[in-house]
Amino acid sequence: MLTNATEINLEEIKLGKLAQQKGKLTVVKKLAEMMEDDYSKSMISLTALAREKSITIPNSLNHASEADYKELNNVPVSNFDLKYCDMMVNGHKVAIAMFEKDSTELNNPDIKQWAIATLPTLRKHLAHSILARAGCEKIK
């Protein structure tokens, strides 16, 4: 669970930085800034928990996350904002499902509590991503 969460955090931070640079709409830039900030904070608590549990977590993007970054980076400027928002909506739906499952099935109480405590932020991110995507769709 912590490895998957780390991979999500690392990807969201990197995609957030990219979207702050390449995004055109203010709503997208603000979404990207929130993602970078929140996932950077999450990495701090996640890293501490992993260290406490003697779990090794990755410190760089996995192959799938690198592919996602390259795909987004190569999207034409005219489609960038919508593509980023789509990635955020879809990714957060998957993350929420994973965290909900882990919050009921994990045996380690500390990791389980961390998953439970993370869910409200993931739901907030999904809601903001949906709103930002709606803003992008209005402009098209």
Tens-of-pLDDT digits for all 140 residues of the chain?
Answer: 999 999 999 999 999 999 999 999 999 999 999 999 999 999 999 999 999 999 999 999 999 999 999 999 999 999 999 999 999 999 999 999 999 999 999 999 999 999 999 999 999 999 999 999 999 988 86
User: What is the CB neighbour count within 10 angstroms for residue 106?
Assistant: 16
User: What is the CB neighbour count within 10 angstroms for residue 104?
Assistant: 10
User: What is the CB neighbour count within 10 angstroms for residue 131?
Assistant: 12
- Cα gap 67→15, rounded to integer Å: 11
What integer pLDDT is reported at residue 140 of this predicted model?
63
CATH topology of domain 2-139: Ferritin (1.20.1260)
pTM of this prediction?
A: 0.95
